[in-house]
Amino acid sequence: MAEEFPVVGLDSAAREAVELLAVRRLPGLIVVDSKGEPHSVLPASQVVRFLVPSYVQDDPSLARVIDESLADQVADKLANVPVRRLLPSDPVELPVVNHDDTVLEVAAIMARLRCPLVAVMKGRKIIGAITASRLLELVVTPH
Amino acid sequence: MTVIAVVVFVVAYVLIATEWTHKLLAALGGAAVLLAFGVTDSEHAFYSQETGVDWNVIFLLLGMMIIVGVLRRTGVFEYVAIWAAKRAKGSPLRVMILLRLITAIASAFLDNVTTVLLIAPVTLLVCERLGVDPVPFLIAEVMASNIGGTATLIGDPPNIIIASRSGLTFNDFLIHLTPLVAIELAVFTLVLPRLFKGSFAVDPDKVHNVLRLNEREAIQDSRLLIKSGAVLLAVLIGFVGHALFHVEPAVVALLGAGLLVLISKVPTKDYMGSVEWQTLLFFAGLFVMVGALVKTGVIANLAEVVGDATGGRPLVAVMLILFVSAVLSGIVDNIPYVATMSPVVLELTKGVTNHAHAHALWWALAAGADFGGNATAVGASANVVVIGIALRAGYPISFWEFTRKGVVITAITILTAAPYLWLRYFVLS
């Protein structure tokens, strides 16, 4: 059920990681540490959250008072920033499953962690990932 | 019983001041121990205004929290703040003066934490557009909030407690404290350029970024704005006339909140979400603990000690309360401090025959406790909230960075309040 999936390092350039998300329309990225072991999953929604200024998150009505040309500058925040800066400040549980886990086990992890993507491990090696859409495809496809 | 009441109170106070446990746990835990040991009972804790939960305070806060919860959805505050920033034509000093003034005025009618929650995001936006450091602006605003909140009965929770204990009306606060706050804000404005020297340089090319902000877009629902404005006006009229109508401010606030909920059709979870239940329960626990001190005679003894220390001279007592309140409110939250001191001041006023002098004792407590909240980064809840917002936006404010400015402003405001109280209540009365 696992598919090949791109991974990025903690110190990779955030801009390149976000371009990867955008071009391939991925729900998220698997982030690995310097040893190549999974560190976290970076959901696309977390990147969007990073791009929105904290004052707009505190007071969403301010998003409307900013004109389009100023709003376009939000992506400037990605310049010279590593991927680790995009991750939530509080550590979250790593969404990983074993290669022989069932669909229900994978769904349970996704539901509990509210994550659109889980890394699939065989031993300490990442062999791929399962996205929420891939999981749903498996659920609804007649066997 | 007296020993248990004092020990429980001191332990709870230490826990609240040091934040070793959550303050709600300390207050409710203390109240529970007092009830369990029979130091107080349900009759005294829940039904006596002198020794129990002051429901006027609780329900006034509840009503105002609901009104503010609906009002903040209108976007009017953001509209006014951005409009003012544009009127400042990009001058950082003028922006600071205007935003600080708006904060002070809003704080007189809304609670301070709500006010800074509304003004801080707008400030970050304006400062980012101007390319200036927002930290001095945020510090100036939270200080203006603590000063402005002193102006009215509803501006700051300590004032609500003082009003309930003393029987002073909304108009008493307007007549006696609002002029003092106006003077304090004028003095604060004069010292701003020196206090935040070097914070007002701006790139002229960035000024137009502020002018391009569209404040009209901040108004989300103009019908809700009209309804909320009408109810708020009615509530303010109710406050001004509450002594005339023989209606407690708490009843005015609750009626206003009920009416606003009814006509605004805001979903229940939205306006109930704006009620700070933990704060209300914290107040309840505090009142039970302080009530136990009143019941066991500790407060009366403490008032006697203070009376003896001042030699029965009201002016000395006023100055002592003003300065001690300012110092202590900078160290511990001013809410538990005023909850404790109010019964003490009430006892002191019983020995003062001159009404003006008796009132001056209350105003000294209000000014000392409210202005004292500016002294340190933890002196008032609003300070902690603004520091948290600044940190999330990537502008950390250290304890000492805040306190260096806070001590100066507290000293200035207290040294301004002292001659005001002396002149108005002892020389000219």
User: Which residue in the set B121, B214, B389 is minimally distant from A67, CB to CB?
Assistant: B214
Chain A residues whose CB is inside 8 A of the B125 CB are 53, 55-56, 62, 65-66
Give domain status of residue A27, yes or no.
yes
User: Which residue in the set B122, B218, B393 is minimally distant from A64, CB to CB?
Assistant: B218
Contact check, Cβ <8 Å, B121/A70: no
B407 band by pLDDT with thresholds 50, 70 and 90? very high
Please say if the pLDDT value at position B19 is more than 80: no
Tell me what pLDDT residue A143 has: 66
Contact check, Cβ <8 Å, A65/B214: yes
Domain borders along chain B are 150-215+297-429
Give domain status of residue A11, yes or no.
yes
Contact check, Cβ <8 Å, B392/A54: yes
Q: Are the beta carbons of A45 and A113 closer than 8 angstroms?
A: no
Q: Is B398 exposed, middle or buried (0-12, 13-18, 19+ CB in 10 A)?
A: exposed
Tell me what pLDDT residue A71 has: 65
Which CATH number is A94's domain given?
3.10.580.10
Query: Mind listing the pLDDT tens digit for each residue in B255-269?
Result: 999 999 999 988 888
Give domain status of residue A2, yes or no.
no
Beta bridge partners of A96: A119
- Specify the pairing of strand A7-9 against strand A28-32: parallel
User: Which residue in the set B82, B218, B389 is minimally distant from A58, CB to CB?
Assistant: B389
Q: Which helix (H) or strand (E) holds B192?
A: helix B178-195
Query: Mind listing the pLDDT tens digit for each residue in A21-45?
Result: 889 888 888 898 888 888 888 888 8
Tell me what pLDDT residue B193 has: 92
Tell me what pLDDT residue B176 has: 95
Contact check, Cβ <8 Å, A65/B215: yes
Alpha helices, H only, A24-131: 44-51, 54-58, 62-65, 68-71, 103-113
CA distance B216 to chain A (A): 7
B132-151 residues touching A, CB cutoff 8 A: none
Task: Please state the separation of Cα A104 from the chain's center in Å.
Answer: 21
Gyration radius of chain A over CA positions: 17
The domain in which residue A77 lies consists of 7-140
For A10, phi and psi rounded to 5 degrees? -60, -35
Tell me what pLDDT residue B421 has: 96
Query: Mind listing the pLDDT tens digit for each residue in A75-134?
Result: 788 888 899 988 887 777 888 899 899 999 999 999 998 888 898 988 888 888 899 988
Contact check, Cβ <8 Å, B394/A54: yes
Give domain status of residue A1, yes or no.
no
Residue-wise burial string across A77-113, b where 16 or more C-beta atoms lie within 10 A, e elsewhere: bbeeeebbebbeeeeeebbbbeeebeeeebbebbeeb
Query: Mind listing the pLDDT tens digit for each residue in B266-315?
Result: 888 888 888 888 888 988 998 899 888 888 888 888 878 887 888 878 99
Please say if the pLDDT value at position B400 is more than 70: yes
CA distance B214 to chain A (A): 5
Q: CA B346, CA B340: separation in Å to the nearest integer?
A: 11
pTM: 0.82
Write out the two tokens for B85.
Answer: 């920033």
Contact check, Cβ <8 Å, A66/B118: no
